[in-house]
Amino acid sequence: MSITDIQNEIIDEFSMFEDWEERYQYMIDLGKDLPLINDQYKTDSNIIKGCQSKVWVHAELKDDKICFTADSDAIITKGIIAILIRVFSNQKPKDIIEADTDFIEKIGLKEHLSPTRANGLVSMIKQLKMYAIAYQTQLN
């Protein structure tokens, strides 16, 4: 599936929730369920320090696609990471570079991407794009 298709699928899923509580409960469950990263990659070099919560990101190139794994110490942050990974992992570097993240606003989680939240997510998205640019250069 393309990045846009996955984003639309997520928007559809979230449109079924009636209020913030259902949205947040879903995010929390996502955060709880997923083993997001292999412990060996939870290193200091993979860490993105926010003022509030920490985020770890690891990237690998498999064939011509990038596989992302990530984690956070805060569960709501982790839930959002799960969504970001669903969108951006197993995609071609070029597509990741060109993708936007407007869908986050459409699913009512915009406040978590505000710089004042300082939860590491803004830096995480930047980091995902940086990996994509780096791998794109490699593939060229």
Partner 1 sequence: MFNVEDIRKDFPILSRQVNGKPLVYFDNAATSQTPQQVIDVIVDYYSNYNANIHRGVHTLSQEATDKYEQARHAIQKHFNAKFAHEIIFTSGTTHSINLVANGFSSILKKGDEIIVSALEHHSNIVPWQMLCERTGAVLKVIPMNQDGELIMSEYDTLLSNKTKLVFVNHVSNALGTINPIEYIIEKAHQVAAAVLIDGAQSCPHIKPDVQALDVDFYVASGHKMCGPTGVGMLYGKESWLKKLPPYQGGGEMIAEVTFEKTTYAELPHKFEAGTPNICGGIAFGAAINYMNAIGFDTIASYEHELLEYATNKLLEIDGLKIYGTSQHKTSVISFNLENIHPYDVGSILDKMGIAVRTGHHCAQPIMDYFKIPGTVRASFSFYNTKAEIDSLVAAVKKAKMMLA
Q: With respect to partner 1, which residue has the nearer C-beta, 46 or 72?
A: 72
> Do the beta carbons of residue 119 and residue 50 sit within 8 Å?
yes
Q: Which residue has the tokens 């597509």?
A: 95
Written as six digits, the tokens of 82 are 């799960």
43: left (phi over 0), alpha (psi -120 to 50) or beta: beta
Q: Is 74 in the site for partner 1 (CB under 8 A)?
A: yes
> Do the beta carbons of residue 112 and residue 78 sit within 8 Å?
no
Q: With respect to partner 1, which residue has the nearer C-beta, 44 or 63?
A: 44
Written as six digits, the tokens of 126 are 């930047």
Active-site pick, 51, 62, 137, 140: 51
Q: With respect to partner 1, which residue has the nearer C-beta, 20 or 98?
A: 20
Q: Is 121 in the site for partner 1 (CB under 8 A)?
A: no
CB of 44 to partner 1, least distance (A): 15
Q: With respect to partner 1, which residue has the nearer C-beta, 17 or 24?
A: 24
> Do the beta carbons of residue 50 and residue 72 sit within 8 Å?
no
Q: What residues between 20 and 39 interact with partner 1 by CB under 8 A?
A: 20-21, 24-25, 28
State which amino acid sits at residue 124: M
The interface mask with partner 1, positions 86-115, x = CB under 8 A, is -------------------------xx---
Secondary structure letter of residue 91 according to DSSP: B
What are the two backbone dihedrals, phi and then psi, of residue 7, each rounded to the nearest 5 degrees? Answer: -60, -45
Is 51 annotated as catalytic?
Answer: yes
Tell me the catalytic residues: 51
Contact positions vs partner 1 (CB under 8 A): 20-21, 24-25, 28, 51-54, 73-77, 111-112, 118-119
